[in-house]
Amino acid sequence: MSHASRHVLILGGTTEARRLAADLAAEPGLRVTTSLAGRVAAPRLPDSEVRIGGFGGPEGLARWLREHAVDALIDATHPFAGTISHNAAEAAATAHVPLLALRRPGWVPAPGDDWHPVASLDAAAALLPTLPGTRIFLTTGRMGLAHFAHLTDLWFLVRSVDAPEPPHPPRMTTVLDRGPFTLEGERDLLRKHRIDILVTKDSGAAATAPKLTAAREAGIPVVVVSRPPTPEGVPEVADPEDAVNWLRGHAMR
């Protein structure tokens, strides 16, 4: 295989994936393709070739890896994109392609935080009626609203990039917005909507972390959904620079 034909596939959709694609654009003799799931109507596109849409499960992804002569696969999807991560692990093993997970670090509670860790969206929904307050700021994304649709006695403020579709809670107001968010903006949002409880996933993103500070300042409890683990046996790094270094030992050597 010639040096000019080396091909890296990034499973993207995150800030880290875009940064990695930009970093790799300067590498000579390297072809980079970023795959996006297509769940956002107007995604932020990286500095690389882009394909949009699913692969058809692990078998489809393995076939794509072979047909496009991929030399290394980097899973830089959202920390909660568990299905594609497991599909990537199975496909990489089938196609004998090196796989790396690029995951931003999770959030760490600070003094004064009132966090309630849960393992899933269903567990978060079950916990909400036991906490004081009825006005919920739900920042877990529009795809998971069905888990809260049965909570008819609670009012929800939902923030997402695109408008949510049913099923969702009947008492709900939607704010269409995309991070990064400012601390002052988050403070205003909590005050304006008289929020009692914040619900979030441990995405670890700095762009959405100000809501945690605003909740701490306001004495608001935060229900934090824990992220799923990286598939067993898949190496993991937290920074695009570390991913480039890993690649230099695989597809770029």
CA distance 107 to 145: 22
Q: Render pLDDT for 155-178 as a digit per residue (tens, 0 to 9).
A: 999 998 889 999 999 999 999 998
CA distance 70 to 78: 22
Least confident interval from 18-32, 43-57, 159-173, 175-189: 43-57
Q: Render pLDDT for 210-228 as a digit per residue (tens, 0 to 9).
A: 999 999 999 999 999 999 9
Q: Render pLDDT for 85-115 as a digit per residue (tens, 0 to 9).
A: 999 999 999 999 999 999 999 999 999 999 9
- The answer on pLDDT for 48 being more than 80 is no
What domains appear along the chain, each with residue ranges and CATH number? 3-105+229-248 (3.40.50.720), 115-225 (3.40.50.2000)
- The answer on pLDDT for 179 being more than 90 is no
Name the nearest CA neighbour of 90 among 232, 192, 241: 232
CA distance 89 to 100: 9
> Is the separation of the CB atoms in 98 and 73 below 8 Å?
yes
Q: Find the mean pLDDT for residues 30-52.
A: 78
Q: Find the mean pLDDT for residues 235-253.
A: 88
Mean pLDDT (the chain) is: 91
- The answer on pLDDT for 28 being more than 80 is yes
- Give the pLDDT band (50/70/90) at residue 47: low
pTM over 0.85: no
CA distance 139 to 156: 10
> What is the structure's pLDDT at 205?
74
Residue 107: which residues within 8 A CB-CB, separation 6 or more?
Answer: 202, 203, 204, 209, 212, 224
